[in-house]
Structure 1
């Protein structure tokens, strides 16, 4: 009888330990100190360019624009979680806004979430204008993601498409 109680007691202890171990999922990797600089230097800054390229802007929801601006300010202050929450709210309002999708892609890249960054950047590219800053930033994000994943062929394809985003505006007389 004592033997049976000991077995049941040991089994219960093992079960509790296993359940607690299952709850302890590893934390997602925190972005390295250079992650924010990569987004700024390789994705956003080159798009600023000379301003002499054709830009296409669609009509945007004012609430989405305001949430995007607030998310950018919060991100610059270093609160990436709040920035992500604000962008998620914006996407619930308009899930097809290429600028918000790209902003979310860049945030995910800064957080080291490469699969999510690629998904948002691809959607931004597909839904957005095929010329201008958003097009360039989407493809640059994809290039960085593919390079980090050692997917050299996909990175080369994205780099080849990048030139198509740069279109000179029509001449004005």
Structure 2
């Protein structure tokens, strides 16, 4: 009988100790970047606009692709990035995933807060595109923004160093 009383007392003490302990912290969810997507896209487009390079690559495109890209820009201006992204992806099906179209896709993905996917698309655009000029600068600024948003400071710094490499000085003229 005494053994039974000791067992009950031990069980009660265990239950009280368990009730006093703190619960385990919740599993760390994937961090949601708190960066402003509008400010990020503004910085990306400014990087391309302010870059003065002697070399710019301007591909010829199918008029249907141009029409879809115009439609996407109009939808973006109406604050409809998801619909704009649909138009861009239709343009990719017609004209292929060109660096300029991929870059636009990455910018729309940022507006939709799809930071990781935007970074992947921007890297793809850079890998396939020119290593000089405005599109290069926009690619690298996109990588800066997405990597910063995802907490990759080293990757953002690496992309920051690449932005200056996008500028191609004009040859000396005699």
Q: When the two structures are superposed, what TM-score results if normalisation uses the length of structure 1?
A: 0.74
| Residue 88, structure 1, aligned to residue 108, structure 2 | no
* Closer/same/farther in 2, CA of residues 93 and 159 from structure 1, 3 Å limit: same
Deviations 1:53-74 (A, max 9, x none): 4212223222212211221121
User: Using CA pairs below 8 Å that are at least 6 residues apart, which structure has the higher relative contact order?
Assistant: 2
CA contact 1:99–1:124 (8 Å) conserved in 2: yes
- C-alpha separation between the residues in 2 aligned to 1:48 and 1:84? 22
1:115 maps to which residue?
Answer: 116
Count matched residues: 143
Superposition RMSD in Å: 2.3
- C-alpha separation between the residues in 1 aligned to 2:173 and 2:107? 34
Deviations 1:71-109 (A, max 9, x none): 112101111121011001011113331111000000001
Give the superposition deviation at 1:158: 0.9
Give the superposition deviation at 1:33: 9.7
Give the superposition deviation at 1:143: 0.6
CA contact 1:132–1:167 (8 Å) conserved in 2: yes
Q: When the two structures are superposed, what TM-score results if normalisation uses the length of structure 2?
A: 0.73
CA contact 2:137–2:163 (8 Å) conserved in 1: yes
Give the superposition deviation at 1:120: 1.1
Listed as ranges, the matches of 1:131-146 within 5 Å are 131-146=132-147
Runs of 4+ residues deviating >6 angstroms:
none
Give the superposition deviation at 1:34: 3.6
- C-alpha separation between the residues in 2 aligned to 1:77 and 1:32? 23
Give the superposition deviation at 1:50: 6.2
Deviations 1:104-135 (A, max 9, x none): 00000111101110111011101111111111
- C-alpha separation between the residues in 2 aligned to 1:51 and 1:63? 30
- C-alpha separation between the residues in 2 aligned to 1:32 and 1:48? 26
